[in-house]
């Protein structure tokens, strides 16, 4: 004879209907507030970037003022085009509200294509500018004094450019070792000058300067690419972090889709801490996005990951909402069983409580008969990944109850649940005898807590 009966309550259709009514997985996106918050959160980073760029521009202009006239004009034209590129690409990156709603991979592809077009145009223009400078070397061939004066100018300009790169640009990040190699070329040209080989020194000095100038532009472009990728990654991750904040507490809606007054969904609580775990992951990625050691490829990967993190947010909100609704359903099922047992066996509800006084856990109800018999009804959440509830009926009969009587009583409960719209699986008898302490619900409560029994909520049956 088994006083332990088990019934699986299949709530697949109920879950499906509740999901549709609650629209839980749809992450709330208050776009105007969202954009304002993203701009506010990234404003400090943008201000720091602007300050760095302004200081670099000041020091660059100071260094360029010491160049020879022909190279000074070349570098100023290059600098102007670099600033225009940077401003234009940053405007495109941060331009419109709908950017936050568009596909991330598409945006990254567009950004890379725009940058590549800008770089190609800049290289073409510099080739034309440099062609005019290199032609002058041939004009000086055979004129020792003019070659010496020109070589000295190129060497001085080369030293200035090398110093500018060393002092203002992250050359080791983007071009490790190249500056040192080009300084060696300058030293070779300088030794030729010191030895009186002016005509040999001139093309070496000019080539070293032009290579240094190209290095400057290359580093500027790579740094621009990194800043753009950093901005995109930061914006995308701040967006997810803001959405996490906006969805931390959600309204609970009734069958009509309208919010139930006073009912809220604490997503982190009902997700068993998943929301805070997600926030921690986003915070860690934001830290990596702000780290200058993070590569462009890694920054782009962070940007691609952001929509995946947002999708996880939707799944967490969905699970939390369904756990809240299922918690109330457990009370409703226990109440339905109590009503059935009251009708067929004169049992009355004596106590009810969630396990460990935690609404996320199983619900326990104790029913008593006037003759001292008791029945404990346990409504447990289904295993993770499954829908439904597991109903256990534990019988404590002081008089003799046959297996047939126990089974008939459990079958009556199962049919009553089906009549109330809760489809069930077959009745199962569990081996062994009920735990003698299962009817003591006081073990779940704090000392000051009163017995708890919740009546069915509207729309949660």
H/E segment holding residue 148: helix 144-168
Tens digits of per-residue pLDDT, 277-321?
999 999 999 999 999 899 999 999 999 999 899 999 989 988 888
Angle, CA 445 vertex, CA 444 and CA 448 arms, to 5°: 170
User: Taking 60 as the threshold, does the pLDDT of residue 390 lie above it?
Assistant: yes
Please tell me the predicted confidence (pLDDT) of residue 108: 57
Percent of the chain scoring above 70 in pLDDT: 77
**DSSP summary character for residue 451:** P
User: Region 135-142: what's the mean pLDDT?
Assistant: 55
User: 31 or 301: which carries more pLDDT confidence?
Assistant: 301
Highest mean pLDDT range out of 7-16, 171-180, 218-227, 325-334?
Answer: 171-180
- CATH 3.30.160.110 residue ranges in the chain? 1-28+251-276+314-461
Q: If you average pLDDT over each of 152-156, 251-255, 284-288, which comes out highest? A: 284-288
- What is residue 461's predicted lDDT score, i.e. its pLDDT? 38
Distance of CA 232 to the CA centre of its chain: 13
Least confident stretch, 259-273, 301-315, 425-439 = 425-439
Higher pLDDT, 263 or 348: 348
Lowest mean pLDDT among 93-107, 213-227, 403-417: 93-107
The CA distance from 25 to 317, in Å, is 6
**Cα maximum dimension of the chain:** 126
Cα–Cα dist 51/86, whole Å: 14
**100 and 38 Cβ atoms separated by less than 8 Å:** yes
Beta-sheet strand order (sheet of 374-381): 348-354, 363-368, 374-381, 389-396, 4-9, 428-429
pTM for the full predicted model: 0.76
Beta-bridge mates of residue 377: 365, 393
- Per the CB < 8 A criterion, the answer to whether 347 and 338 are in contact is yes
User: In DSSP terms, which residues pair with 378 in a beta bridge?
Assistant: 364, 392
Report the CATH number of the 1-28+251-276+314-461 domain: 3.30.160.110
How confident is residue 30, by pLDDT bands cut at 50, 70 and 90? low
Sign of CA dihedral 339, 344, 346, 352: negative
């Amino acid at each position: 004879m088994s006083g332990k009966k088990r019934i699986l309550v299949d709530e697949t259709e109920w879950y499906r209907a509740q999901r549709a009514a609650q629209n839980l997985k749809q992450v709330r996106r208050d776009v105007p507030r969202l954009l304002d918050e993203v701009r506010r959160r990234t404003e400090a980073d943008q201000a720091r970037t602007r300050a760095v760029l302004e200081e670099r521009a000041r020091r660059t202009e100071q260094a360029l003022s010491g160049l020879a006239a022909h190279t000074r004009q070349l570098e100023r034209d290059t600098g102007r085009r670099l600033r225009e590129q940077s401003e234009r690409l940053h405007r495109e990156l941060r331009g419109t509200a709908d950017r936050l709603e568009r596909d991330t991979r598409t945006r990254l592809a567009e950004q890379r294509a725009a940058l590549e077009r800008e770089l190609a145009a800049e290289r073409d223009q510099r080739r034309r500018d440099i062609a005019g400078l290199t032609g002058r070397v041939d004009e000086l061939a055979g004129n020792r004094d003019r070659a010496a004066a020109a070589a000295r100018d190129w060497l001085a300009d080369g030293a200035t450019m090398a110093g500018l790169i060393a002092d203002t640009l992250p050359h080791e990040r983007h071009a490790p070792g190249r500056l040192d190699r080009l300084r060696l070329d300058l030293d070779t040209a300088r030794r030729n000058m010191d030895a009186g080989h002016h005509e040999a020194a001139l093309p070496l000095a000019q080539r070293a300067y032009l290579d240094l100038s190209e290095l400057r532009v290359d580093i500027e472009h790579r740094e621009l690419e990194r800043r753009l990728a950093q901005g995109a990654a930061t914006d995308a991750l701040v967006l997810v972090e803001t959405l996490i904040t906006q969805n931390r507490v959600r309204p609970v809606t009734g069958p009509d889709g309208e919010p139930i007054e006073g009912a809220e969904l604490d997503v982190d609580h009902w997700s068993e801490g998943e929301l805070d775990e997600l926030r921690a992951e986003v915070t860690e990625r934001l830290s990596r996005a702000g780290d200058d050691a993070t590569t462009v490829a890694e920054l782009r990967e962070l940007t691609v990951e952001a929509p995946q993190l947002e999708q996880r947010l939707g799944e967490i909100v969905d699970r939390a909402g369904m756990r809240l609704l299922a918690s109330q359903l457990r009370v409703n099922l226990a109440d339905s069983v109590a009503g059935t047992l009251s009708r067929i066996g004169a049992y009355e509800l004596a106590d009810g409580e969630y396990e460990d006084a935690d609404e996320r856990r199983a619900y326990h109800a104790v029913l008593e008969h006037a003759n001292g018999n008791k029945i404990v009804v346990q409504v447990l959440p289904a295993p993770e990944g499954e829908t439904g509830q597991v109903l256990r009926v534990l019988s404590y009969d002081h008089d003799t109850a046959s297996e047939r009587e126990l089974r008939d009583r459990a079958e009556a409960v199962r049919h009553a649940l089906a009549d109330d719209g809760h489809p069930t699986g077959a009745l199962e008898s569990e081996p062994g005898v009920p735990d003698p302490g299962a009817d003591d619900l006081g073990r779940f409560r704090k000392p000051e807590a009163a017995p708890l029994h919740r009546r069915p909520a509207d729309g949660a049956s």
